[in-house]
Structure 1
Amino acid sequence: MRTLVLLCLVAAAWAQFEAGFVKILQDKRYQEGSTFGNFRDQEDGIKYFEETDAHGVRRGYWEYPSDGGQILRTEFEAGPGIGFRITNSNHHAPTPVAQPQPQFQPAPQPAPQPLPAPPPRPVLRQPVHHNPVHHNPVHVPTFNPITTTTPGPQNLFDYPANLEFSRQGLGHRFKFTAA
């Protein structure tokens, strides 16, 4: 009986541990010169895409299923001179685009007059005393590559998948797809 209770507790703990992770169905990334982008699709229905152009402007979207099963999608753009704004959404109003306002121009000021130079100050020399420095020996541990082990990274991708990677002259492409 105790064994059955123990197995049930272990199974419940394992299920809670696994519930914290979401399977990634697809993850794509690329860089071509000064443009780059990425896309992610998860088993829980969440998708994210973003692409940055040569001028530093990012455009993309995220979407996820609502509690009622409807796909909620928000498209955005962000970058220098525009900040962040929603351009299209089926559950948010787009961000209004502000009209540029005239910039404040201060009235010209007269040029400041230079101040007279202060009189020179006498330089007082102080005697210099040198104190000897005593060093205590420091133990430096040695590294033995045969007996020293370092922990490896934790593998969270414990399901079958395909990984593609290619390089071009000005960039690369990466694609991970769950099998």
Structure 2
Amino acid sequence: MKNKMNLLILIIIGILVQVSIINNGVLFRIYPNIILVLTSYVAQRQGRIIGGLFGLISGILIDVLLSPNLGIKALSYLIIGYVVGIISEFIFEESYRTAIFYVVIGSVFYSIINNFIYFFLSYNINVYLILIDLFKLETIVNIFLFLVVQELQVEKNRNFKFPKLKKV
């Protein structure tokens, strides 16, 4: 139960940061995707089912708050969480290379799924801009954010100790 509450709090914090700070272009007109980073991180740590559910719930909340089309980002984050969870079952090493790999895979899937769906919704899709979008600075910032989240979690686990109770 405690793990579920931690994931729910993580979703709420991630959405608040995404909506209030990042979507306003505070970071020099760079719009990193913190929900993508958190979904990749949770899928790496918890597996494909929890990662997919985390992506689905956070995607639904992002769709309700920001998107005119309900369900597109939810589907994208669900697939990203599930795919990264499957890949993490085969890659046991936790290093900077795997973090880069997870975020790049998540960014590629996010771009492909969103543009595929928007194409069938009769939006004007430019393939050249899609390819350039994958190699923009946002992907590098997403990798950096993933590494920060990973290091914060390691420090939290390392420094956490149950307090000793004194006898009265």
TM-score when scaled to structure 1? Answer: 0.21
Structure possessing the higher relative contact order (Cα contacts under 8 Å, 6 or more residues apart): 2
Structure with higher strand content? 1
TM-score when scaled to structure 2? Answer: 0.22
The structure with the larger Rg is: 1
